[in-house]
Structure 1
């Protein structure tokens, strides 16, 4: 699976790239996002992406500095520059530091996917030429892994320890069905699962210094499928236990933590009942204190967050209304239209004409 890191200080630009890229079709996955060059270079060390898509004009370390650092220390990483600045100086930097291409905002989906395909081809050719000792995990397995990761995300957010452990076991059983995995293959799988764990820990307000970074990957963990399963399961169990202790044995419900949780998960199947269960309070109590603190009930707050993001995404006419609905958490586009019109007094298409 080809790992991609997106670097842009404007979240909506990241959203657009994630929406337009045909990631699954290309055998790619977006493993992280960064807001400036310094954060991006740190994540390159942690996530080992094959491709970095970066803006040029950012606060702090900009795209030029990032290109210099990558060209010097990570020459195998493919770089795609995306910038709103039609400035020949930026293009010269992109060429000098061997960027694969230089795309102007607003990004054309066809151009983006064409350059991603070029990166994929280059990476595959390079891999064949080097005759890497480890065989890349089969695309079909990674397609299956995506489904398991969705289950892990669901069970972790529901504090379902048994579900998480069972899913970890199912993942390695799936891997075994492809034949005896090499240490390299196991290592790739373990890193994928630990990257997801770090994301889940961050989204749930845990100290990320313990997530993945607190679990040194010893070679013994890769000596067999059983050891890999034991290692990954213990990592997930440790983070879940910490999260449960943090929420269950508190003196008072931290409503700011609840609000941050909603802000991170509003696009998912979040409900008042599930939220109350996750924070070890009754739904009646959750509803009461949330409304006292924020002046609206939980359901209305979730809808408001979804509508705010939907309105923001609609401003970019290159994103289809169907894609906006899905990104905001609505699989039923007709229902999204009804909720949007009730919230704003106009249909999504009408608002798009006004922005």
Structure 2
């Protein structure tokens, strides 16, 4: 739902606009109302609407001044002017500041809804134009940033996340990065959604919206994305820090979701706010195996599945299972199953 701000010094005029608009049908939501231009600017900063519908004659700051400020400070916002006067000067200012439409009172419902639909279409087209396809180099660089964010998120490391976003902002400030700003934002939001779903299964996720302000500059995009990541991280920390008792099942699920990553007993103890000695003791009591062996078990069982499927080279299976050293992977695999990966694959072919 795109957000709409109504601006008119007469409340009955705002009520009339509210009653005539096909808000739900078009996909719009009125999030605020203002009685003059000054209040409208304040609400625009607070509510970040995508569309502003404004009267022209108002006290304090009139519609002309409001249009000027919006064009200067919030260029992505679409505006619709509604005036009780067929005044050439007002129409000229509406044209100058690129309002989507100039409507006269009494308002024609069809004209109003056509203007609203036009605003939505322009906003959608504008966002699509920012989503340029990545070339291989850009995709690889972004993948590196996402990998770093994933690691720091799992480690509950706020400082690390801040550093990553600082590096990302420097890169996005180049011409190449800025043209792909919308795509970067989209990728990072999807990545965050995946991180939260994995770290807090079943938890209600915060509402994440891409606003015109977010896409207005590299600085704004990075600031908003970093805020979303930090809010999610704080929620995760609170969830784990203030639980009444250690939830071994949650830790086991975490291990099953992240066993291909370099997780250790020390890492898990830090993430779940317990001592490694206590975690080691209660985990083995519950599952009959220590943390390290359980991770090896998860990796080996998955590696065997991939080996038998014969869809990947053994070196790729090694990497997918979380091992960097192929020879070490061979030794662990043979010790666990009593047979080398290659031999297991040959047996499966028979």
Global fold match (TM > 0.5):
yes
Pick one of 242, 248, 251 that aligns with 2:244.
Answer: 251
| Structure 2 unpaired stretches of 5+ | 1-127
Question: What is the deviation of 1:245?
Answer: 0.4
> Are 2:265 and 1:268 aligned?
no
Which residue number corresponds to residue 337 of structure 1?
330
Which residue number corresponds to residue 17 of structure 2?
none
Which residue number corresponds to residue 292 of structure 1?
285
Q: What TM-score do you get using the length of structure 2 for normalisation?
A: 0.60
Residue 219 of structure 1 aligns to a residue whose secondary structure is coil
Which residue number corresponds to residue 166 of structure 1?
163
Distance 2:323 2:186 in 1: 31
> Are 2:305 and 1:308 aligned?
no
Which residue number corresponds to residue 142 of structure 2?
145
Which residue number corresponds to residue 182 of structure 2?
187
| Structure 1 unpaired stretches of 5+ | 1-130
CA 275–180 in structure 1, closer or farther in 2 if over 3 Å, else same = closer
Residues 167-225 of structure 1: CA deviation (Å, up to 9, x unaligned): 1221121111235724xx322111111111111111112546415xx112221211222
Which residue number corresponds to residue 232 of structure 1?
225
Aligned ranges for residues 316-355 of structure 1 at < 5 Å?
316-355=309-348
Residue 277 of structure 2 aligns to a residue whose secondary structure is helix
Aligned ranges for residues 1-355 of structure 1 at < 5 Å?
136-178=133-175, 181-182=178-179, 185-207=180-202, 209-211=204-206, 214-355=207-348
Contact 2:283-2:289 within 8 A present in 1 as well: yes
Distance 1:354 1:134 in 2: 48
Residues 116-165 of structure 1: CA deviation (Å, up to 9, x unaligned): xxxxxxxxxxxxxxx96875455433321111111101100100011112
Computed over aligned residues only, the root mean square deviation of the Cα atoms, in angstroms, reads 2.0
Residue 268 of structure 1 aligns to a residue whose secondary structure is coil
Question: What is the deviation of 1:316?
Answer: 1.8
CA 204–180 in structure 1, closer or farther in 2 if over 3 Å, else same = closer
CA 267–179 in structure 1, closer or farther in 2 if over 3 Å, else same = closer
* Higher Cα radius of gyration: 2
Residue 181 of structure 1 aligns to a residue whose secondary structure is helix
Residues 318-348 of structure 1: CA deviation (Å, up to 9, x unaligned): 4211111111111111101110111111111
Report how many residues are paired.
Answer: 221
Contact 1:206-1:243 within 8 A present in 2 as well: no
Residue 164 of structure 2 aligns to a residue whose secondary structure is helix
CA 178–132 in structure 1, closer or farther in 2 if over 3 Å, else same = closer
Q: What TM-score do you get using the length of structure 1 for normalisation?
A: 0.59
Distance 2:175 2:139 in 1: 12
